Structure 1
Amino acid sequence: QEYIMRPLLLSGCKFDLRMYLCVVRASPLLVYYRNGYVRRSVYSYDAQDSNLYVHLTNAAMQKKAPRYAEEMENSIWRLQQMEECLVEQGHVAHGWVDSKLVPDIMSMVTEVLQGCKHEIKPFYGSFNLIGFDVMLDDELNPYLIEFNMNPALATSTSVLKAVIPQVVQESLDLVLWAHGVPATPGPRGIAQLSSDVEYCSKPSTLPFPNGQFKLLIDDARGYVWSRSEGKERSSSPRDPCLSPRII
């Protein structure tokens, strides 16, 4: 990775964003995006400081910092809290997260997925919740740092307690919906999902689940998310007609 020499700062501290993808199906590819939260260093930023806790903002690193216990609650922010801070610092206007940041991130990660989708190996009966990390420079340009196939689901702060359970619940609701299975399983039961091929191959007739996931790619319908209204949209991204088989 190339080091970002001029990162955007929150109250003088370096930060990154943990966002989510739910790969509901690998072939044909079906992927949804969801906002996550902000991970902020507990130390003020100084490019010349050799203290790794100043530069590495991921939770696995920050939790080892000597002052983490006393600063833990302030190390995880909501996206709205980040926006308010950046507004106060004069970097952005209100509404920037929804109108600019999220579309920029969705465009970036869609391009990455389109470039590597042929490397995603189908595995019947599975799905994947992916955490991916984004950092911003001082000109508000987003950079994709990494994908994490096993994202942390700890709820050690008030923000994480609010965000993580929703992410997990919405992911499961989305996957079960795509299978055509109610969130509260009936007599067929969730255990039969991977073996009941005939059942899983029928289109879902259930209402699309509530939640914050947004459709990015649905290869079965030739759909790719675009920030431009009317472009590359075969139908509404909130209520697609899908072949629910999950691979």
Structure 2
Amino acid sequence: MNTDEYRIETEMMAIEMKREIVFIKKIAAGSHRGEGVFPLTTEEEKVLRKEYKNGALCGERSNAIIVQNYVHNPLLLEGRKFDFRMYMVIASTNPLIVYYHDGFLRVSLFGYSANSTDKKVLLTNLALNNDIYRDAQSGQLVDGRDEEDLKLAQQWSFERLQNYLLAEGIVKDQNWLDNYLRPELKRAMIHLVRMSAEKFLKHSSVWEFYGVDFMLDQDLTLWFIEANTDPALDGYSIPMEKFIAKMLKDHFEIAYNMLKSRMKRVVMLINNIVEHEKVSIGEEGEVEIENFGAWKKAFDKVSMNGLEPEFELSRDNGYSKILDDNLKGVDIYSGLIDPQCL
């Protein structure tokens, strides 16, 4: 064992002495609803460390596996683990425009124990409890609760979280959501998008909807867990169904208004070409335009995304813009990023 290997080994032994679970293993793609997530056992960790030479071969092997640090001191609600399912829309990649939307809390139905190997205790995905909900649907009460009661216990709103934290004395600020949590979530999303934007296809018709998961630890530090395309939109309580329906309506407004804005500019450009340029039909039926190169540049510009004033979002739209590369300076990030960081 060389010096580096010895250092890594001793550091890991020190961590393991303090924590019951050190790492979580995830299947990197094609797995949803907690199906591909497992606590990493000590023996599995040793095998992976040997296979990947303590990380030296990460990225060189074709195995679609991600190993993440386990948040060993999660903040608990009524003794139960929870995470946040947030929503984010990349409304455009030409230029980059991103919107944030509040989500909800997914709270385990079971008391937390770091020694447990039960995924229903360690993870909070709603689908992990489908068997419990099936029992409730058949008329069986689970701990005296029917299906809707179980969903209400597992799905918390932001306001319910803040009220709980205030009542428990964990936070003191009556506006903790607006003054701390929401800005932290928005900043995290900005960094997530910026660090991955190089891989995006830059085209005005490209957009994506994400479910983004976070956790809070006992120090109220925010941890990013993962981002999912095509997030599940079923299995909700009655109040949460209304919340999700409104969110999807607002999502559609963003996509539709972005399209209408783009089409307005394109139609105006075409009318301008017809009015001011010589347009003819070639021998093979193709349209020929004088000064085509200049008009092509103009078309590329007007086809970039951005909302026209008459197509701004409704005042009650629940999405808030957190990144817009049409703007300059701190306005790009809606004032969420310190000017010194730009």
- Please say whether Structure 1 and Structure 2 have the same fold, judged by a TM-score greater than 0.5: yes
Q: Relative to total residues, which structure has the larger helix share, 1 or 2?
A: 2
Partners of 1:21 and 1:131 within 8 A in 2: yes
* Pairing partner for 1:80 from 159, 162, 167: 159
Cα 1:161–1:97 shift into 2, 3 Å: same
Matches within 5 A, 1:201-212: 201=303, 204-210=308-314, 211-212=317-318
1:41–1:62: 8 Å Cα contact kept in structure 2?
no
For structure 1, the residue ranges without an aligned partner over 5 or more in a row are 182-192, 233-247
| Cα distance in structure 1, aligned partners of 2:122 and 2:335 | 33
State the match for 1:215 in structure 2: 321
Aligned to 1:238: none
Name the aligned partner's letter for residue 136 of structure 1: L
Amino acid at match of 1:88: A
1:138 equivalent to 2:211? Answer no
Residue type at the aligned position of 1:12: G
Give 2:195's match in structure 1, choosing from 112, 115, 124. Answer: 115
Q: Distance in 1 between matches of 2:310 and 2:265?
A: 18
Give the corresponding residue for 2:242. 162
1:227 aligns with 336
Shift in Å, 1:68: 8.0
TM-score when normalising by structure 1: 0.79
Q: Does 1:198 align with 2:230?
A: no
CA–CA separation in structure 1 for the residues paired with 2:333 and 2:318: 18
TM-score by length of 2: 0.58
Question: Which of 90, 97, 102 is the aligned partner of 2:169?
Answer: 90
Q: Percent identity?
A: 25
Residue 94 of structure 2 contacts residue 204 of structure 2 at CA under 8 Å; is this kept in 1?
Answer: no
Counterpart of 1:217 in structure 2: which amino acid? L
Distance, in Å, in 1 between the alignment partners of 2:336 and 2:231 is 27
Residue 23 of structure 1 is matched in structure 2 by 90
Counterpart-to-counterpart distance in 1, 2:135 and 2:109:
7
Matched residues, number: 219
Letter in 1 for 2:335: S
Deviation of 1:225 (Å) = 3.5
SS in 2 for 1:90: coil
Q: Per-residue displacement from partner, 1:17-47 (whole Å, max 9, x unpaired)?
A: 1111111111211111111111100001111
How far 1:207 moved relative to its partner? 4.3
2:240 counterpart of 1:147: no
C-alpha contact 1:19 1:133 (8 A) present in aligned 2: yes
Q: Which amino acid aligns with 1:125?
A: S
RMSD: 2.6
Contact 2:260 2:311 in 1 (8 A): no
Report how far residue 201 of structure 1 moved.
Answer: 3.2
